[in-house]
Amino acid sequence: KALAKKVKEEVRAAAARMERRPGLAVILVGDDPASQVYADGKKRDCAQCGIYSEEYILPAETGQEELMLLIETLNGRSDIDGILIQLPLPAHLNERAVLSVVRPDKDVDCFHPFNVGELMIGEKGFYPCTPASVMRLLAEYGVELSGKSCVIVGRSNIVGKPLAMLMLRENATVTICHTRTRDLETECRRAEILVAAAGKAKMLDGRHVGQDAIVIDVGINVDENGKLCGDVDFPSIEPLASMATPVPGGVGAVTTAVLAKHLVLAGRRQRGN
């Protein structure tokens, strides 16, 4: 939470120095309540930073053409610097095709294949906000990655894979685990930095954490009592870990602040300053 506040203060100051405040468009298709909560958090953080935002809530049955047309319109608007399409999209829509229509310089969460490619080859484009926030957290708390053994549980295109690339860029030795990993406990226990991004409530516990490991919990889940929780069973890892992020108030809080930062970057790049 402290880091999220700090990032937002940086962004607010940067946005205030711009001639025109940056603008974000969020598109939601259907009425998934979790997506609405995420979108509200993004709009709230952007507003706190002095970023203009507008939201498009489209019915679940919206067609591909109609959605693409809206994105094309937003692509052409000079007051919109970033376009965010809240995932998942309804099953009848082709997610990859839709994401590829967003102009790469307005793709503030790095979904477009161009930006994914830039990330892969080590260029400085947009990074996905969640992996970028994990890297910012590690940097903020003085965690050096070079030569460290990092284990990421989860290989999604939006968290696990891009985070692996960012950690590799900092010279970490990275292992990515997934549902076919043979011995998850052993793989995780040898991590100096363990990242949980599986989306399974409290699935990693004291058996998965080595002495003095750093544990980053990306998961956002709801437990059996309806309470928000991460992928890590915090009480059982607390005696082992040297540092760990909580849920809520950890990676998620920093992620929305990082999105606001990307809006300022997008705004500057599009105006050539």
> Which residues, in sequence order, are CB contacts of 39 under 8 Å at separation 6+?
26, 28, 55, 84, 86
Q: Is 247 helix (H, G, I), strand (E, B) or coil?
A: coil
Considering only residues 4, 218, 240, 259, which one is a binding residue for ligand NAP as defined by CB under 6 A?
A: 218
CB-wise, 24 or 218, nearer to ligand NAP?
A: 218
Phi, psi of 216 (to 5 degrees): -110, 120
- Could you tell me the two tokens for 272? 């050539």
In the complex, least distance from residue 187 CB atom to ligand NAP, rounded to whole angstroms: 9
- The reply on whether position 41 binds ligand NAP by CB under 6 A is no
- The reply on whether position 110 binds ligand NAP by CB under 6 A is no
Of 78-86, 101-109, 238-246, 248-256, the segment contacting ligand NAP by CB under 6 A is 248-256
Of 72-80, 108-116, 216-224, 264-272, the segment contacting ligand NAP by CB under 6 A is 216-224
Check 105, 109, 217, 231 and give the catalytic one: 109
Considering only residues 18, 58, 143, 158, which one is a binding residue for ligand NAP as defined by CB under 6 A?
A: 158
- The reply on whether position 252 binds ligand NAP by CB under 6 A is yes
Q: Is residue 109 flagged as an active site residue?
A: yes
In the complex, least distance from residue 177 CB atom to ligand NAP, rounded to whole angstroms: 5
What span, in angstroms and rounded, lies between the C-alpha atoms of 38 and 36? 5
- DSSP secondary structure letters along 208-228: G--TT-EEEE---EE-TTS-E
- For 168, counting Cβ atoms within 10 Å of its Cβ (0-12 exposed, 13-18 middle, 19+ buried), the class is middle
What span, in angstroms and rounded, lies between the C-alpha atoms of 201 and 148? 27
User: Beta 149-153 vs 214-217: how paired, if at all?
Assistant: unpaired
Q: Is residue 64 flagged as an active site residue?
A: no
User: Cα angle vertex 73, ends 69, 74, to 5°?
Assistant: 120
Considering only residues 150, 197, 237, 241, which one is a binding residue for ligand NAP as defined by CB under 6 A?
A: 197
In the complex, least distance from residue 125 CB atom to ligand NAP, rounded to whole angstroms: 19
What residues from 112 to 141 belong to the interface with ligand NAP (CB under 6 A)?
130
Residues that bind ligand NAP in the complex, under the rule CB under 6 A: 130, 153-156, 158-160, 177-181, 184, 197-200, 203, 218-221, 251-252, 255
By annotation, the residues acting in catalysis are 42, 86, 109
